[in-house]
Structure 1
Amino acid sequence: MSEAILAKRLNIGRTPVREALHRLARENLVVILPRRGILVAEFNIRSQLKMLEVRREIERLIARSAAERANAAERQQFRELAIALRQAATDNDDLRFMRLDQDFNRFTARAARNEFASTTMALMGGLSRRFWFMHHQHINDMPLAAEYHAAVAEAIAQGDSEAAVQASDKLLDYIEHITRAAMDW
């Protein structure tokens, strides 16, 4: 695939296509080969595990900061989010869970009030979603994922930074376990 072909197929100019491709390249989702085209970046479990090392530390910072800095309205949002996550699990609604997961990430980033941590997490978000979409049919325990997310949301709602960090660690332990299990699929 090339920039020119994409622009033609999308019926838009090359500049927005180029900008979008460069953003995808920064997020490690595509590889731009000058004068040769664009490739979807290879998915690699080892790279995913390395990314999770970084993500764990950033998520701990975000969870702690959100618990300490969230205002009353945000704390209420986290309470409601925990309920909605558990309801999605009860209903076995994967699509709803994925939407709530995006809300969870957006809410925690905003409540943490640290644009550098939020930007770093956003860069890793595409890789994490890519992994989930590639493997969600093998995982089959969305209720457990929802419960781990809900526990972080509840700790933030209560303003308990240590519980938020502990819940975040459990969530990342789960994600790392799923990632390692993907080697066998």
Structure 2
Amino acid sequence: MVQSLTDKPKPQRSAVVPPKAASSPPKAANGLAVASASTLTDRAYREIEEAIVTLRLKPGDILSEQMLAAATGIGRTPIREALQRLAIEGLVTILPRKGILVSEINPRSQLLVFEVRRELERMLCRNGADRATKEQRAQALQIAKSIERAAQQNDDMAFMRLDRELNQLILDVGHNEYATRALKLTQGLSRRFWYQHYRVAADLPLCARLHAAQSRAIGEGNSKGAAEATDKLMDYMESFARATVTV
């Protein structure tokens, strides 16, 4: 039996926050709900990306479209499109006629990722604090509270999902499609790197406070504070990455 990618990793953890619900699918003329290709591709992308980031699909694993389709219950075309997105983001390598290789994790390469991420994320957070809508500000404030609660409960899966939600919010509020394209290439790699090493080298409560400060500054419309919070977060993440080289 193929294990679902949405199964909780073992050991199981309590209070796991479920992925954000997708919007209702369109309905056909007969009133029956139908899933669009883009909706299925997005769902496949979210499930496979989370499985890679949380190491249920490990670096060096060889995957196949057939295996992933069976694990997710999604057809091979949306799976293929999701894998193409993940390949662009560096989480997998597509090997023609061989399969899909989950990429390895390299701490030294991650330091280069943070160099790029710092500049882009600071700009998007600073601009986003000014440009966010009322609804986005409310979302940012809620994310900040939820991240702190996840850390208090030592719930790493909830933290990871909230971090992903914050990553997406930063892309949305920044309103710069070019910076968004570049920053998106770093986000999954960063989350996976953190998840692999945090039990040994990270401080979850501190990491949560830094993320919450960034999200809260966006929610409060504090552009200077958002930029400063981003720099503090990147300082911590770079220090964390350097520590893993010697762990």
Q: TM-score range by the shorter chain?
A: 0.7 to 0.9
Q: Which residue of 1 aligns with 2:66?
A: 7
Structure 2 equivalent of residue 151 of structure 1: 213
Q: Is the 8 A contact 2:143 2:162 kept in 1?
A: yes
TM-score, structure 2 normalization: 0.65
2:136 aligned with 1:74, yes or no?
yes
User: Residues 144-179 of structure 1, C-alpha deviation per residue, up to 9 Å, x if partnerless?
Assistant: 011001111222122221111011000011111111
1-structure distance, mates of 2:245, 2:99: 30
> Where in structure 2 are there 5+ consecutive unaligned residues?
1-60
Structure 1 residues 28-37 or 64-73, which shifts more?
28-37
Alignment partner of 1:141 out of 203, 213, 231: 203
Tell me the residue number matched to 1:106: 168
Residues 9 and 27 (structure 1), Cα distance of their counterparts in 2 relative to 1, 3 Å cut: closer
Cα drift, residue 42 of structure 1:
2.4
What does residue 49 of structure 2 align with? Answer: none
**SS of corresponding position for 2:104:** coil
Structure with the higher helix share, 1 or 2: 1
User: In structure 2, what is the Cα distance between the partners aligned to 1:154 and 1:27?
Assistant: 27
Task: Please give the residue correspondences for 1:3-42 in structure 2 after superposition, counting only pairs within 5 Å.
Answer: 6-7=65-66, 10=69, 15-42=77-104
Q: Does structure 1 residue 51 correspond to structure 2 residue 113?
A: yes
Structure 1: how far apart are the matches of 2:88 and 2:131?
30
Percent of pairs with identical residues: 47
Equivalent in 150, 166, 169 of residue 228 of structure 2: 166
The separation in 2 between residues aligned to 1:6 and 1:76, in whole angstroms, is 39
8 A contact 2:201–2:243 mirrored in 1 = no
Say which structure, 1 or 2, has more relative contact order (CA 8 Å, 6+ apart): 1
Deviation at 1:37, TM superposition (A): 4.5
**1:98-127 residue CA offsets vs partner (Å, 9 max, x unmatched):** 222122112222222223322322222221
2:103 and 2:68 map into 1 onto residues whose CA distance is 21
SS of residue in 1 equivalent to 2:230:
helix
| Residue from 142, 152, 160 that aligns with 1:90 | 152
- Structure 2 counterpart of 1:141, one-letter code: D
Q: TM-score, normalised by structure 1?
A: 0.85
Aligned equivalent of 1:179? 241
1 CA distance for matches of 2:195 and 2:109? 17
Q: Secondary structure at the match of 1:32?
A: strand
Alpha-carbon distance in structure 2 between the residues aligned to 1:89 and 1:82: 11
Report the Cα distance in structure 2 between the residues aligned to 1:76 and 1:98, rounded to whole angstroms.
20
